[in-house]
A and B are shown apart, each in its own frame.
Chain A
Amino acid sequence: RKEVEQDPGPFNVPEGATVAFNCTYSNSASQSFFWYRQDCRKEPKLLMSVYSSGNEDGRFTAQLNRASQYISLLIRDSKLSDSATYLCVVNEGFQKLVFGTGTRLLVSP
């Protein structure tokens, strides 16, 4: 079983739609969690950290469920510029960052 699993997609949605991605992790001792965004042929960039209480940044909402060991990302009112691959990242301790394979999002006009 992979340490961090994501549905690779692609998720094809129209502009304005709401879309959600989930990610599961296997190491229950994992300490911190993040979502990264990666555009084509670019390096991953931090989108947001994920806190136990859930957190929001504009149109983006991240949730963490430690009991079920999953993380979610919700994007509201999708924009064309949201098209990218979204990577779920887990810090397993000692700063070891483990990445999921990513979920590809395509937002169309």
Chain B
Amino acid sequence: DVKVTQSSRYLVKRTGEKVFLECVQDMDHENMFWYRQDPGLGLRLIYFSYDVKMKEKGDIPEGYSVSREKKERFSLILESASTNQTSMYLCASSQGLGFFGPGTRLTVL
């Protein structure tokens, strides 16, 4: 059974903190994605990666960076968290079909 896991289900951070969200997949997929989901806005692509050490900006990359040192792991980094980054963060991996992790609900106070 395919599996995408995310490091935390719920996270509370303070403004200005550096935040790491980790995602791991066990399907040997080339492609991995980070989305955020907000009411009324749907899923918006932050960054994606189609190979180790490769990354591409999505639609809303500002305030975020990513790291993909190993094929199975894709990390999203908020360098200095702000309140407008409070959201549900969803990681996905894909090789044609996309599979999602359970999501991390991040609150920035």
Residues on A lying within 8 angstroms of B by beta carbon are: 8, 32, 34, 36, 42-46, 49, 87, 89, 91, 94-102
Within 8 A of A (CB), among B63-109: 90, 92, 94-103
Chosen A-B contacts, 25 in total, with CB atoms closer than 8 Å, are A32-B96, A34-B97, A42-B103, A43-B90, A43-B102, A43-B103, A45-B100, A46-B99, A49-B97, A87-B42, A89-B98, A91-B96, A95-B30, A95-B48, A96-B45, A96-B48, A96-B56, A96-B58, A97-B45, A98-B45, A99-B43, A99-B45, A100-B42, A101-B40, A101-B42
Of listed B31, B95, B98, residue having the most chain A CB within 10 A? B98
Contacts of B35 in A (CB 8 A): 99
Nearest residue, chain A, Cβ from B94: A95
Shortest distance between the CB of B49 and any CB in chain A (Å):
10
Shortest distance between the CB of A25 and any CB in chain B (Å):
14
A96 to B57, CA, bound (A): 11
Contacts A43-B90, A43-B100; is A95 near B40 (CB within 8 Å)? no
Of listed B30, B43, B96, B97, residue having the most chain A CB within 10 A? B43
Residues on B lying within 8 angstroms of A by beta carbon are: 30-31, 33, 35, 40-43, 45, 48, 50, 56, 58, 90, 92, 94-103
Of listed B58, B94, B97, B103, residue having the most chain A CB within 10 A? B97
A59 to B90, CA, bound (A): 29
Shortest distance between the CB of A24 and any CB in chain B (Å):
14
Nearest residue, chain B, Cβ from A44: B100
Nearest residue, chain A, Cβ from B30: A95
A8 to B41, CA, bound (A): 10
Evaluate contact between A87 and B100: CB separation under 8 angstroms: no
Evaluate contact between A97 and B94: CB separation under 8 angstroms: yes
| 7 further interface pairs, Cβ-Cβ under 8 Å (given A42-B103, A89-B98) | A43-B100, A43-B102, A43-B103, A44-B90, A49-B97, A95-B30, A99-B43
Evaluate contact between B43 and A87: CB separation under 8 angstroms: yes
Evaluate contact between A102 and B42: CB separation under 8 angstroms: yes
